Amino acid sequence: MLLPGLSGSEEPSAPQPPAAASDARPGVVVRMLALWARSVQSDAHSYYQAASKAAWTDRAIDYGEEWSPTEDALARVLEDVWVRGYRLVMSAYQMERWSRVHQQITGGAEEWDERLEKLRNTIEHLNEASFTDLVAQKGPPDPKRKRKKWSIEELPGKELFLGFDAGYTEAAFGLVNLRDVTERARRYAQLDAPDEPSFDDYEPDSYDPESD
């Protein structure tokens, strides 16, 4: 089963020879770019909810009241922040890759977020890193692999913080600014369906700690 096609496209036809099939590339690029841009919008909203819940839980623990959450509850919330942050990074990375191809086809000025690429690579290969209680850093030498460089060394401080800090409600891993990435996603989210309503507000009017 194929992904839904562009708005108004005809039903899939029989496979075409390579020369004829190549004409479909611009349409596929538009479709994939819009798909990942919408994913960025959704994932940014999801991350913001989890990060806001983490910040609220942390403050509520400090109050020390009977109703205050436990440290175990905070640990579970922080796990959710990490997973949702990872999803956002991957969606944003895919959007960047497809936007680059789109710019090549349309002749637009190419843009590329190198820090996002380094963060994606770092998380993807995090199992190869060295760790302290707080951060991940460049891994130990592996005589079986000749590695020229580590993406984690291109991050601020040459490390990735493994916890949750001030400002993380606004930036996943402290590096992917939600407002910036959703503003970029807004350019592409409706390329394949310009008349459809847009979902472009990652930040709710108020945060409900009882919701996800």
- Tell me the three state secondary structure of residue 131: strand
Phi, psi of 15 (to 5 degrees): -50, 140
Q: Which domain holds residue 115?
A: 25-188
Residue 63's pLDDT is what?
86
Q: Structural domain tally of the chain?
A: 1
Contacts 24+ apart (CB under 8 A), 123-126: 123/86, 123/89, 123/160, 125/151, 126/160
Q: What is the pLDDT of residue 87?
A: 97
Span 130-173, pLDDT tens digits? 999 999 999 987 777 766 689 999 999 999 999 998 889 999 99
CB atoms within 10 A of CB 59: 12
Residue 120 has pLDDT above 50, yes or no: yes
More confident residue, 209 or 138: 138
Any domain includes 137? yes
CA distances from 39 to 99, 132, 167, 172, 176 (A): 14, 33, 22, 15, 15
Mean pLDDT of the 94-117 span = 90
Whether 133 is in a domain gets the answer yes
Band (pLDDT 50/70/90 cuts) for residue 200 is: low
- pLDDT higher than threshold 50 for residue 205: no
Q: Which helix (H) or strand (E) holds 47?
A: helix 25-63
User: How does DSSP assign 137-197, residue by residue?
Assistant: EPPPP-TT------GGGGSGGGSEE-S--TTTTTEETTTEEHHHHHHHHHHHTTTT-TTSP
Report residue 113 as tokens. Answer: 């977020």
Residue 203 pLDDT more than 60? no
Does the residue 64 lie in any domain?
A: yes
DSSP 107: T
212 within domain boundaries = no
- Other Cβ atoms within 10 Å of 92 Cβ, number: 27
Per the domain annotation, does 18 fall within a domain?
A: no
Q: Are 56 and 73 in contact (CB under 8 A)?
A: no
pLDDT tens digits, one per residue of 7-31: 555 555 555 555 555 578 899 999 9
pLDDT digits (tens, 9 = 90+) for 35-85: 999 999 999 999 999 999 999 999 999 888 888 898 999 999 999 999 999
